[in-house]
Amino acid sequence: MDKFINRELGNTIRKYLFKGKVIILYGQRQTGKTTLINNILKHLKKKSSILSGDDYDTIELFDRPNATKMKPIIGDADIIVIDEAQQIPDIGRALKIIYDNYKKVQIIATGSSSFDIANILNEPLTGRKLEFNLYPLSFEEMSKHNGFLNEKRLLEHRLIFGYYPDVVNNMGMERKILESLAQSYLYKDILKIGGIKKPVLLDKIMRALALQLGSEVNYNELSNLVGADKNTIERYIDLLEKSFVIFKLPAFNKNVRNEIKKGRKIYFYDNGIRNAIIKNYSPIKNRNDKGALWENFVISERKKYLNNKDISREMYFWRTTQQQEVDLIEIEDDKLDVYEIKYNTAKKASLSKTFTKAYKVNSFRVVSPEDFEGVFI
């Protein structure tokens, strides 16, 4: 397989270059941020300079920044890229100095933790930056690379091993790569930025979330399960979300008296990481959690699709205390697009009358492995 896979987000980022904004690209390590930026630069007839926050020399260059000190760093470059910018102390002030003194220079900074880099950049770069998220590869990207039918044939494989670039590009080595990701890269920034002193507790929380995939997450129950107080649970989950391991889907509620008001579901950005955490790589046909895996896949793919296309939509699930539910609701301009996610479509799916009486539905779609075109491709 050709190693380079075109990323949809690149098309979106290109539209905003040289428009007077610093471009900030977030994404978990190993999702391909550097490859994406290099590909963007390759197609621009501009001089660029790339620096890495993982290099000690780069950190020294940005120590106690001022306009004079920044001049040799810029040189004659039209574009300055700072990779893993969260590693550089006071990077926000350095970027502001470059922005204010070199108006024609396009600044691009990447970071593997929105928690750390956003805190550093928010005040210095208020009104001066645009932020983008790069997630693992998507079904759409791989369909364009492999062809739709070929990628559809690999669907069960993707449900188990996911879409991290290194996993996709090294068929046959999926387990080894995923375990390395789950044990090292996944935790690297979380442990550093969060000052977490109990990685064993983080393991327990991640495993508990992985096993509850597709279910509502109750922080009090998690607290009892892993032996930590609720505030600690919330903090760890917040760090996992800001490090692009998981994301929350809140409960939708407005009109119905028995709606769950403050519920949340938690999904993983990548099925392979989820399966690596519980160390289960069994084929789909042998699994009891195939429905949850498909639900996680569809919702994460939909999230990638909207993100890559620069489409802003609110995403929710819906449930009543009587267990009537809707898997996914998207809202744009007060229009509700509703999705029922079914791995097995033997039983006909329909919307709850409670829901349809309370809300005006713009569209309703059942998403199954046999029928998902138009949802995330």
* CATH code of the domain covering residue 70: 3.40.50.300
- Domain assignment of residue 184, given as a range: 139-367
Strand ranges (E), 37-180:
48-52, 79-83, 106-111, 129-133
Give domain status of residue 377, yes or no: no
Assign 184 a pLDDT band (cuts: 50, 70, 90): confident
Same structural domain, 110 and 79: yes
Same domain, 287 and 363: yes
Q: According to the model, what pLDDT value does residue 185 have? A: 66
- Give yes or no for residue 117 having a pLDDT over 90: no
Both 264 and 248 in one domain: the answer is yes
Domain boundary, last residue among 100, 133, 166: 133
What pLDDT was estimated at residue 114? 61
Query: CA triplet 248, 252, 257: central angle to 5 degrees?
Result: 140
pTM beyond cutoff 0.85: yes
In a domain, 375, yes or no: no
pLDDT for the residue 1? 45
Q: How confident is the model at residue 239 (pLDDT cuts 50, 70, 90)?
A: confident
Nearest to 94 by CA among 69, 114, 127: 69
Distance of CA 43 to the CA centre of its chain: 26
The least confident of 12-26, 100-114, 158-172 is 100-114
User: Is 166 within a domain?
Assistant: yes
Domain check: are 362 and 300 in the same one?
Answer: yes
If asked whether residues 126 and 218 sit together in one domain, one would say: no
Residues 128 and 155 in one domain: no
Task: Quote the pLDDT of residue 342.
Answer: 95
In a shared domain, residues 116 and 144: no
Domain final position from 114, 133, 152:
133
1, part of any domain: no
Instruction: With a cut of 90, say whether residue 210 has pLDDT above it.
Output: yes
Residue 124 shares a structural domain with residue 144: no
In a domain, 15, yes or no: yes
Model confidence at 307: pLDDT above 90: yes
Left, alpha or beta for 162 (phi > 0: left; psi -120 to 50: alpha)?
Answer: left
Q: Is the pLDDT of residue 371 over 60?
A: yes
**Total number of domains constituting the chain:** 2
Same domain, 22 and 126: yes
Give the pLDDT score at 119.
Answer: 64
For residue 3, tell me if it sits in a domain.
no
Rg (the chain; Cα; Å)? 22
Give residue-wise pLDDT tens across range 246-279.
999 999 998 888 888 889 999 999 999 999 999 9
Using an 8 Å Cβ cutoff, are 116 and 84 in contact?
no
Residues 101 and 147 in one domain: no
Residues 92 and 175 placed together within one structural domain of the fold? no
Supply φ then ψ for residue 361, to 5 degrees: -95, 125
Based on the fold, state whether residues 127 and 260 are members of the same structural domain: no
Q: For 120-177, what is each residue's pLDDT tens digit?
A: 676 788 889 999 999 999 999 999 999 999 999 999 999 999 999 999 999 999 999 9
Q: Which of 87, 114, 133 is the last residue of a domain?
A: 133
List of E strands, the chain: 22-26, 48-52, 79-83, 106-111, 129-133, 246-250, 264-268, 314-319, 325-332, 335-341, 361-367
